[in-house]
Amino acid sequence: MIGIDCCAVIIGLAAFLTASSSATTQSSSSDGNNSINDPELIEQVELHYHHPPSSAGAAAALRNDVLACQSDPCFHGLCIDHTNNSTYSCFCEDGYTGYQCQTNWNECWNGPCKHGGTCVDGIGRYHCLCRPGFTGDDCQVDIDECQSDPCQNGATCQDGDNGYRCRCLPGYEGAFCQVDVAVCRHQQHNNDTSSRDIFLPPTCRHGARCVEGPGLAYHCLCPEGWTGKHCETDVDECCSNPCKNGGHCIDFIGSYQCACAHGFTGRNCETALERCDDKLCGYQGMCWLDGDDGQTSCYCRPDFHGAHCEDQYNECLLPGTKCLNGGQCIDQVDGYSCSCPPLWTGSRCQSCEIRQCPCNPCQVNSTCLMSPNDQMVCVCSYGRIGSLCEIGKSLFTKIYFHFTS
C-alpha cells in the first residue's frame, strides 16, 4: 500500500481551494481583476489534487508555487504557477502584452482609418473618428451627398468629399441650378464683358420685345409688319394681292399702298372713276367723278395742287436760304436748282473757282481771272474802271466782264 503524506494532501487541497476562492473573487470583484477560468489553470490544479507530492519537500515547493501568484503580478491577465519552481506565467487579456500583461497594444499601429480619419486606440480594439463626408468602421464609405437629389432643373449632381457640385444645363445657374438665367436681360446688356454666361444673347430686332422662357428659351414679340425668330423678316402685306382692278401693290413696313390703274381709286383700287370735264381742273389736271356720291375730283399734274389744281408747289419759298452768294433759285418738281453768278459754282453756289487768264488783257497792273464758264474778268487796280480797266477816273475798284468769243 502506497503511503500518502497527509500534509501534502492538505496543502494541495488548500491550493485548490485558494485558487477557486481567488477565481471567484476576481470574477465578481468590481476593481477590474481578471477571473481565473482558464482550462489550463484548472488542469494544473487538478493535477495537484489527484497526484499530490509524496514528501514534505514537495509540499513546501507546492506552497511556494501557490504563493507566487498570490501577489497578483499579472496586471491585465491570469497568473499560472509553475509546479517545478517558484515562477509563474501570465496569460493576457485581449489588447495587452508584456511579461506581466502591462502593455496596452496600440491597435492603431497600421493606420486602419481611411480618408484621413483619426484612429483612437482602445482595449483590444480601436475607433475611427471620420472626416465630414465619410462613414463606416474604418471611414471607408464616402457619403453620397447626391442621394437627396439637391440639383434642380435637370442638372447633374457630382458627388465630392463632404459635398457635391451641380452641373447646370444651359440657361440655369446657382448652387442648385435653381436660377433661370434672364436671357432677355442679357440682350439689353450684351456689351457687358463681365457676364458669366457663355451663350449668345438674343437679338430681337425692329423694336420687338423679348419674352422669357425656361432656361435659354425665349421668343420675340414682333411689332406689326415683322416676323421671324428675331423679327428680322418684313411681312409682305402684298402677298394677299389686296390691290384690285390691276392696281400695283407697294409693300411698306406693317402696311401697303396700291398704285391704281387708270380709272380706279380707293385703298385697294376698288372704286371705279368716271371722267368729267377736264376744264374744271387747271394746269392740265384730270377731272373724275367719284363712284359713290357723284362728286368731281381733280387729279393734278406733279407740282400742282388744290381743289382745281390752281396752286403750284414752290420749293424756293420754303424757309431757309437756298442759293448762296447771289445765286438765283429756280423752282422744279419736288426740288429746286441754283443759277450762280460768275466765279461761283456748286449746287447752292457755295464754291468759288478762280483761275488765272492764259493772257492778261487788263491794263495798269489790273488782274485777269477766269470764271467757271470761261469768262475773262478784270479786277481793276485802284482808280481804274472799264472792262479792261482802261479808264482811270474812278476812285473805287470795280469789276467788269468781258465776254470772249
166 belongs to a structural domain = no
153 belongs to a structural domain = no
Greatest mean pLDDT among 97-101, 190-194, 196-200: 97-101
Look at residue 336 and tell me whether its pLDDT is greater than 60: yes
In tens, the pLDDT along 169-186 reads 988 888 999 988 877 876
Q: Are residues 98 and 40 in the same domain?
A: yes
Where a domain ends, among 86, 104, 122? 104
In tens, the pLDDT along 283-307 reads 888 888 765 667 888 888 888 888 8
Check if the beta carbon of residue 334 is closer than 8 Å to that of residue 343: no
Look at residue 126 and tell me whether its pLDDT is greater than 90: yes
255 belongs to a structural domain = yes
The CATH number of residue 206's host domain is: 2.10.25.10
pLDDT value, residue 182: 79
Query: Domains in the chain: how many in total?
Result: 4
One-letter identity of residue 138:
D
Q: Which residues pair with 385 in a beta bridge?
A: 391
81 belongs to a structural domain = yes
pLDDT value, residue 96: 93
Ramachandran bin of 226, using left for φ above 0, alpha for ψ from -120 to 50, beta for the remaining angles: beta
For residue 75, the tally of other CB atoms under 10 A from its CB is: 18
Domain interval for residue 291: 237-295
Q: Are residues 225 and 265 in the same domain?
A: no
Q: Is 46 exposed, middle or buried (0-12, 13-18, 19+ CB in 10 A)?
A: exposed
Determine the Cα–Cα distance for residues 404 and 52; give it in Å rounded to an integer. 171
Look at residue 158 and tell me whether its pLDDT is greater than 80: yes
Which stretch of 16-20, 91-95, 290-294 has the lowest confidence by average pLDDT?
A: 16-20
Greatest mean pLDDT among 63-72, 81-90, 190-199, 300-309: 300-309
Look at residue 189 and tell me whether its pLDDT is greater than 80: no
59 belongs to a structural domain = yes
Cell of 245: 382692278
Look at residue 9 and tell me whether its pLDDT is greater than 70: no
The fraction of the chain above a pLDDT of 90, given in percent, is: 23
Where a domain ends, among 256, 277, 295? 295
Supply the Cα-derived Rg of the chain in whole angstroms.
62
Nearest to 94 by CA among 105, 109, 110, 83: 105
Give the confidence band of 101 by pLDDT, cuts at 50, 70, 90: very high
pLDDT value, residue 307: 87
Cell of 393: 477816273
Helix (H, G, I), strand (E, B) or coil at 183: helix
Check if the beta carbon of residue 223 is closer than 8 Å to that of residue 207: yes
Q: What is the mean pLDDT of residues 133-155?
A: 90
241 belongs to a structural domain = yes
Q: Mean pLDDT over all residues of the chain?
A: 76
Q: How many residues does the chain have?
A: 405
Cα–Cα distance list, 154 to 167, 177, 363 (Å): 9, 9, 99
Determine the Cα–Cα distance for residues 287 and 278; give it in Å rounded to an integer. 5
Q: Which residues pair with 104 in a beta bridge?
A: 96
pLDDT value, residue 67: 65
In tens, the pLDDT along 235-289 reads 898 999 999 999 999 998 888 999 998 878 889 998 887 788 878 888 888 888 7
For residue 34, the tally of other CB atoms under 10 A from its CB is: 22
Where a domain ends, among 79, 104, 129? 104
217 or 20, higher pLDDT: 217
pLDDT value, residue 404: 39
Which stretch of 64-73, 149-158, 262-271 has the lowest confidence by average pLDDT?
A: 64-73
Q: Are residues 11 and 96 in the same domain?
A: yes
24 or 186, higher pLDDT: 186
Q: Are residues 17 and 34 in the same domain?
A: yes
123 belongs to a structural domain = no
193 or 157, higher pLDDT: 157
The pair phi, psi for residue 27, each rounded to 5°, is -75, -25
How are strands ordered across the β-sheet holding 376-379?
Answer: 355-356, 367-370, 376-379, 399-402
The fraction of the chain above a pLDDT of 70, given in percent, is: 74
Determine the Cα–Cα distance for residues 135 and 133; give it in Å rounded to an integer. 7
Determine the Cα–Cα distance for residues 175 and 152; give it in Å rounded to an integer. 10
Give the confidence band of 138 by pLDDT, cuts at 50, 70, 90: very high
Q: What is the mean pLDDT of residues 27-45?
A: 41
213 belongs to a structural domain = yes
Nearest to 273 by CA among 256, 250, 305, 297: 297
pLDDT value, residue 23: 34
Global pTM reads 0.33
